[in-house]
Amino acid sequence: MTETTLGPGPFVPPTRFAVPGRIAVGGDAASAWRTATLTVIRRETPHAATFRFAVPGWAGHLPGQHLLLRLTARDGYVAQRHYSIASPPDDAGHIELTLDRVEGGEVSGWFHTVARPGDTVEVRGPLSGFFAWPGNRPALLVGAGSGVVPLMSMVRHHRSRGLRVPLRLLVSARGPRELIYADEYGAETTPVFTRGAPAGVPVGRMSAAHVAPLVADAPPGGWEAYVCGSNGFAEHASRLLVEAGQPVDRIRIERFG
């Protein structure tokens, strides 16, 4: 997971720990490993599932943050991975992670083939304030595939708090069956299907026709844009945003792959 910005962000909280473009977050709780007990597995698509954990003492998080997960095998082998948090901050004592099954992935493979409710892992976090959205500024969210995971935390936060600040989500998937969280989307969401779509819905890569109208319809003060997806998608989507007039210093990017 890599976080980048095309320039310093406009929002810096009044704290001596803040740095440009990053929301200051506490480090004490994030430095401790906590035992997370798997309680629920929920299938999202043929290749993605959500894993819900009970985490006693979890200090909460900001939408968009991630954590470090540690999996220890019986022979002592340890694997660690960074995963975005899908659940909203108000889900006290619990967190949800949505994982794609990666071909050859030892951790995602374990989750998708071995893990059962009652299993435990270790987590450390929440981590990074760079991609976090505190809910106090209009947000334009652009994601593809499992890149929608941290963005969904923002959408859920927006709904659970009844926030009135504008929020829009543009999400790309190969087709309806691959659209993660499909049953949860509402009027704030526009899906883009690249390989197959319902009758009457255009098929194709995300383009200026999708992005430009949203940028043009920005609320007073403009959008803070959050882009998450593969390296190729992140570059493509951020380029579309800039070409549509989104200020480069108000685009935050989280990429993987």
9 pLDDT more than 80: no
Residue 5 reports pLDDT greater than 70? no
Q: Please tell me the distance from the alpha carbon of residue 120 to that of residue 123, in angstroms, as a whole number.
A: 10
Residue 211 tokens, joined: 């992005």
Residue range 125-169, pLDDT digits in tens: 999 999 999 999 999 999 999 999 999 999 999 999 999 999 999
CA distance 94 to 20: 30
CA–CA separation, 45 vs 224, rounded Å? 29
Please tell me the predicted confidence (pLDDT) of residue 92.
Answer: 85
pLDDT band at 256 (very low <50, low <70, confident <90, very high): confident
Mean pLDDT of 43-68: 96
Task: Tell me what pLDDT residue 45 has.
Answer: 98
- pLDDT at residue number 13: 28
Rounded to an integer, the average pLDDT of 51-79 is 95
CB-CB neighbours of 207 under 10 Å? 12
Q: Which domains does the chain have, with CATH numbers?
A: 34-127 (2.40.30.10), 139-255 (3.40.50.80)
